[in-house]
């Protein structure tokens, strides 16, 4: 008998700083609940929400700012399984997530406020160049991040990034 895995519908935001296109830097947040885990903002899609609505809500909840310009949407959903060490009550009964990625740019004057929500998702954040991003991001998300960013680069949505 085949056991069917359950995946939580989710959105993820690849955020370019407001300095883009003069400087190509990506937002990475340091999770407050998992030691040394850096990632893009992401979160579940609530019943009745579109992925874009979930994106804006999650950005407001996780970084205290939804003042962004949506540049592009990755055309496919990406599934991944949770590593054994992160599975627990928060994600139960899911085995992983199926994510819709969006490329966004912070608007001029937009301010990040990690303490804007009751339970902050991130305790710190940085803007990093592409090569730093692939070294700093949590290990099991690196391949996905690379695939999505390289798609946006090839489609012309991102420039000034060294994709080698």
Query: Does a structural domain hold residue 2?
Result: no
Please list, residue by residue across 84-113, b when 16 or more beta carbons sit within 10 angstroms of its beta carbon and e when fewer do. eeeeeeeeeebbbbbbbbbbbbbeeebebe
Contact 114, 64 (CB under 8 A): yes
pTM of the model: 0.91
Query: Does a structural domain hold residue 161?
Result: no
Query: Does a structural domain hold residue 68?
Result: yes
pLDDT of 15-72, one tens digit each? 999 999 999 999 999 999 989 999 999 999 999 999 999 999 999 999 999 999 999 9
CA-to-CA separations, 134 to 16, 19, 146, in angstroms, rounded: 15, 20, 7
Query: Does a structural domain hold residue 160?
Result: no
Query: Does a structural domain hold residue 1?
Result: no
Number of domains composing the chain: 1
The CATH number given to whatever domain includes residue 12 is: 3.90.79.10
- Identify the pLDDT of residue 2: 73
Query: Does a structural domain hold residue 164?
Result: no
Note down the domain range covering 17: 7-154
**pLDDT at position 88 over 60:** no
C-alpha–C-alpha distance, residues 92 and 88, integer Å: 6
What integer is the mean pLDDT of 144-159? Answer: 96
- Identify the pLDDT of residue 91: 56
């Amino acid at each position: 008998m085949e056991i069917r895995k359950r995946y939580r519908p989710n959105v993820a935001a690849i955020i370019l700083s407001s300095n883009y296109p003069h400087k190509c830097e990506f937002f990475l947040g340091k999770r407050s609940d998992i030691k040394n885990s850096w990632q893009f903002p992401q979160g579940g899609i609530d019943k009745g929400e579109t992925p874009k609505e979930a994106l804006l809500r999650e950005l407001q909840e996780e970084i205290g700012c939804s003042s962004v310009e949506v540049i592009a949407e990755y055309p496919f959903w990406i599934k991944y399984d949770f590593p054994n060490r992160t599975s627990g009550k928060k994600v139960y009964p899911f085995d992983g997530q199926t994510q819709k990625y969006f490329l966004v740019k912070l608007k001029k004057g937009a301010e990040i406020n990690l303490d804007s929500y009751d339970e902050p998702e991130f305790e710190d954040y940085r803007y990093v160049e592409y090569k730093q991003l692939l070294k700093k991001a949590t290990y099991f998300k690196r391949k996905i991040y690379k695939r999505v960013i390289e798609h946006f680069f090839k489609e012309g949505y991102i420039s000034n990034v060294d994709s080698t």
